[in-house]
Structure 1
Amino acid sequence: MKKQEILAIIKAGNFNKIKFAVADIDGVLRGKYIHKDKFFNAVDNGLGFCDVIFGWDCADKCYENSEITGWHTGYPDAKAEIAMETFRQIPWEENTPFFLGDFSNDPKYADAVCSRTLLKRIARQSEEMGFKPIFSQEFEWFNFQGTPSEIAASNYTDLQPITPGMFGYSILRSSLNHAFFNDLFELLQQFDIPLEGMHTETGPGVIEATVIYDDILAAADKALLFKSAVKEIAYRHNFVATFMAKWNKNLPGCGGHIHQSLWDLDKKQNLFFNSESDTKMSQTMQYYIAGLLKCLPEILPMFAPNPNSYKRLCGGDWAPRTLTWGIDNRTCAVRAIPGSEKSTRIELRVPGSDTNAYLALGASLAAGLYGIKNKLPLEIAPTTGNGYLETGKGVLPDSLEKATKKMAESEIANELFGEAFVKHFTLTREWECQQSDKNDSQWELKRYFEII
């Protein structure tokens, strides 16, 4: 929809407010309602937004190690831009107009802290190389009975999933909460986040859904909005949804797998597909996989951003920790899915559902492009058995502390994302490590259960 068409809809609509949001470094959407007169002015002139959103963590505690903003700067306004292409209306809020934004036109924040701007930059580099990146993220998440207040009052004990038992792909269990399933599918469609599929997953109260693929920036927008929308729709049913990577050590974790392919700029040819190859994999696809495997250990915090993330990456339960790839092998870090020209793609299985989609999708694309630029040979043989056991090919860092230290010192990370971003982001991950409370066994649930 063109800009003037969007403005006409809002002018003619029977509403006085607009909802607007930007993503912080954790992928949490921070937003506000604004009068539509202010919106019309902001379309051309931008919108002031307190830069504290880049100076605090997911619990609103101000960083003490941030240089870009803090008490020492007085937390001034940053200049947010409204991304007109993200326009949609919220069906569960009387069709209130909604927009995402970023800080791409504010030089202080664009390169160092704005994750959406970083993704735009990487996507632009891809197109300059002749590649149109087509992506989608799929999510697994747990759902619990009760309100946020009730769950917090229980100190996150005796949590009651919306369904009992380990019922993956269960038609029976999805019927138990048919109204919730129906609202998720239909309301997300109306909110311009169409789902390719949705089903119960292994674990009590677990659902998995895949958002239909799109250009990478639109796919990341939809991924962030998907998580927020699911939580809001869950509230309507007296449920709470959590996207924690591993809320319970005895249950499977929650993946945020990233499907990806590169097409020509007209989106007519899948450049990962080669009809003449025995595997149907092009040389470009092989370079891309080699880039992912090379870069993964250097940039892991962008795929596993919290201490809790590493409880999922334990080598089993559908979450990889080895530097492996295989053809249609779900035990590997990289699952190659060669098929038809339309469907040939890669699934990166390392990310959890607790990611910032702008960072996770951007990091995946940047790593793949690194492989193409440097024509990295795919020297690691494909895994045909259990990839969790193939530790000889390399193993990912097993804690956020180790992964952050490696990224902070990485020449590859600085090349892919720029020194300003790497410095700020790794400082925030160091801070995140420091927030652990060894005297409180529930600290991860209190911190990540609802917000992340």
Structure 2
Amino acid sequence: MNDETLKSNIFQQIIDSPHQKVKVAIADIDGVLRGKLMHKEKFLQVMESNFGFCNVVYGWDMADQSYDNVQVSGWHTGYPDAEAFVDWRTYRNIPWENNLPFFLADFTGSQASSAMAACPRSLLKQVITKAHTMGFTPFFSQEFEWFNFKQNSRELYEKNFQQLQPLTSGMFGYSLLKAAEYSEYFNDLFDLLAQFRVPLEGLHTETGPGVYEGAIQYSEILEAADRAVLFKSAVKEIAFKHDIIPSFMAKQSQELPGCSGHVHQSLWNIEKNKNLFYDGDAVHNMSRVFQQYLAGQIHCLPHILPMLAPTINSYKRLVEGAWAPTTLTWGVDNRTTAFRALPLGEKSARLESRVVGSDVNPYLAMAACLASGLYGIEHNLSLDLPPTSGNGYEDIGGGRLPSNLFEASQAMDKSPISRELFNPAFVDHFTQTRFWEWRQFSVEITDWEKKRYFEII
């Protein structure tokens, strides 16, 4: 069935829908979905053309505070509408909202609009186009760990985000017993996500009180990123129905492991019938393409780290001995390194980026992974860094990762490599939003400071 037929069928499904409204969403720079309900008649019109969406979506942070250091949006622009375009291929029905129709939109068609330069989904599509031009079809998937708390939203604010009750107690990784403790919620996640076209490969408890991990089934990269963005939002909405609050913060507590958002990736041929990462005659069964791709990621990581670790909290996860990498390392099936090569077979050979936390914007994380991998192929980089055998925290031959968001953002802002990988307008906008995030943190008086200095100093 060709695209026009598919689009026509979706158009007809919306016409025939018993609902008089459609939900439409756009991902902001932090991966938060911003959207609205549209009357069905209005939506059918914009599905054929475009619609206006206020450019403030890229002019404020996750707390709706207006940036004072970006050009794309701000008081100086007057916050006009930017031209947004519905991607009809993202059509879904929301099963926990009586199968309400849902679509994603982006600013890809707004060539003259500054919103396009800041649009994460548009950025990823640009990198995908380059991959196709180079003869590759990227297949990706993402897995998330997250904490669950037995609270509702009102209680969360009443408690000032303190002394929250974990859904379950104790350290129970892969525990069937703890999964059964809230089995209705646990099973709803798996089943409703599948109905929402975000199919899971696996769902289990992770080590930590109330921690779950979900691995999303792999697909072509744009669909994989859509699924990942929708996964985080859908988990929160499903949890609301159970009076549960999920949290995708990278690090909840110094005493507990952090929450990852590992990205799995492979390159296939244009026909999608051959995994180009596998070579049974090569060392570790890693093809030349795989080696160059990995070399590119290692080389570029210090220049684009904020796209994989975007918040203040991200860097509190990237500490030794907490199942998150701190060094520029790779290894074959080694979970202590930044990059875990898995050349397991012709169909399953892939690379896992373990730097990525659960707090990322999946569009930006996947764009960063793919662009840096393509850089390695395009520049014919050799995989000169030897694989780590054993403890990756002790292997500092490749260097260490930046230790905080400010340091990482400075490196990205000043890097010619980041501007080679991405539109300079995006790099300018994104790094300024990260500097803004650092400024917001820097002026706050923390509980640690009060405990440290209040009485004794």
TM-score class normalised by the smaller sequence: over 0.9
Distance in 1, Cα, partners of 2:133 & 2:162: 51
Residue matched to 1:164: 169
Residue matched to 1:35: 39
Distance in 2, Cα, partners of 1:28 & 1:13: 27
Task: Compare 54-63 and 434-443 and name the one that shifted more.
Answer: 434-443
Distance in 1, Cα, partners of 2:161 & 2:276: 47
Q: 1:236 aligned to 2:241?
A: yes
- Equivalent of 2:446 in 432, 440, 444: 440
How big is the shift at 1:110? 5.3
Task: Compare 205-214 and 148-157 and name the one that shifted more.
Answer: 148-157
Residue matched to 1:152: 157
How big is the shift at 1:268? 0.4
Q: 1:14 aligned to 2:18?
A: yes
- Secondary structure (helix, strand or coil) at the match of 2:228 reads helix
**TM-score calculated relative to the size of structure 1:** 0.97
Q: 1:119 aligned to 2:124?
A: yes
- Secondary structure (helix, strand or coil) at the match of 2:256 reads coil
- Secondary structure (helix, strand or coil) at the match of 1:44 reads coil
Letter in 2 for 1:192: R
1:301-335 C-alpha deviation (Å, 9 max, x unpaired): 00000111000011221100100000000000000
CA contact (8 A) 2:140 2:221 kept: yes
Unpaired segments ≥5 residues, structure 1: 444-452
What are the residue-to-residue correspondences of 1:136-147 with 2, within 5 Å?
136-147=141-152
How big is the shift at 1:393? 1.9
Residue matched to 1:395: 400
1:19-45 C-alpha deviation (Å, 9 max, x unpaired): 000000000000100000000110122
CA contact (8 A) 2:138 2:221 kept: yes
How big is the shift at 1:438? 3.8
Task: Compare 345-354 and 312-321 and name the one that shifted more.
Answer: 312-321
- Secondary structure (helix, strand or coil) at the match of 1:346 reads strand
1:245-274 C-alpha deviation (Å, 9 max, x unpaired): 012111111000000000001110000000
Distance in 1, Cα, partners of 2:165 & 2:309: 27
How big is the shift at 1:111? 4.5
Distance in 2, Cα, partners of 1:380 & 1:111: 37
Residue matched to 1:220: 225
Letter in 1 for 2:334: N
Distance in 2, Cα, partners of 1:38 & 1:254: 40
- Secondary structure (helix, strand or coil) at the match of 2:377 reads helix
Distance in 2, Cα, partners of 1:69 & 1:76: 9
CA contact (8 A) 1:140 1:254 kept: yes
Distance in 2, Cα, partners of 1:383 & 1:440: 38
* Higher RCO (C-alpha 8 Å, min separation 6): 1
- When the two structures are aligned, how many residues end up with a matched partner? 443
Residue matched to 2:363: 358
- Equivalent of 1:376 in 373, 381, 389: 381
Residue matched to 1:197: 202
Q: 1:302 aligned to 2:298?
A: no
- Equivalent of 2:269 in 255, 264, 270: 264
Distance in 2, Cα, partners of 1:84 & 1:315: 44
Residue matched to 1:446: none
Task: Compare 324-333 and 428-437 and name the one that shifted more.
Answer: 428-437
**% same residue:** 54
- Secondary structure (helix, strand or coil) at the match of 1:118 reads helix
Distance in 1, Cα, partners of 2:116 & 2:266: 26
Letter in 2 for 1:10: I
Residue matched to 2:453: none
How big is the shift at 1:113? 0.4
How big is the shift at 1:79? 0.8
Residue matched to 2:51: 47
CA contact (8 A) 1:111 1:420 kept: no
- Secondary structure (helix, strand or coil) at the match of 1:394 reads coil
- Secondary structure (helix, strand or coil) at the match of 1:391 reads coil
How big is the shift at 1:213? 0.4
Distance in 2, Cα, partners of 1:43 & 1:358: 23
How big is the shift at 1:204? 0.3
CA contact (8 A) 1:196 1:210 kept: yes
Q: 1:90 aligned to 2:94?
A: yes
CA contact (8 A) 1:273 1:280 kept: yes
CA contact (8 A) 2:82 2:115 kept: no
Residue matched to 2:61: 57
Distance in 1, Cα, partners of 2:123 & 2:432: 17
Q: Any runs of at least 4 consecutive aligned residues in structure 1 with deviations exceeding 2 A, and if so which?
A: 440-443
- Secondary structure (helix, strand or coil) at the match of 2:369 reads helix
Distance in 1, Cα, partners of 2:343 & 2:35: 40
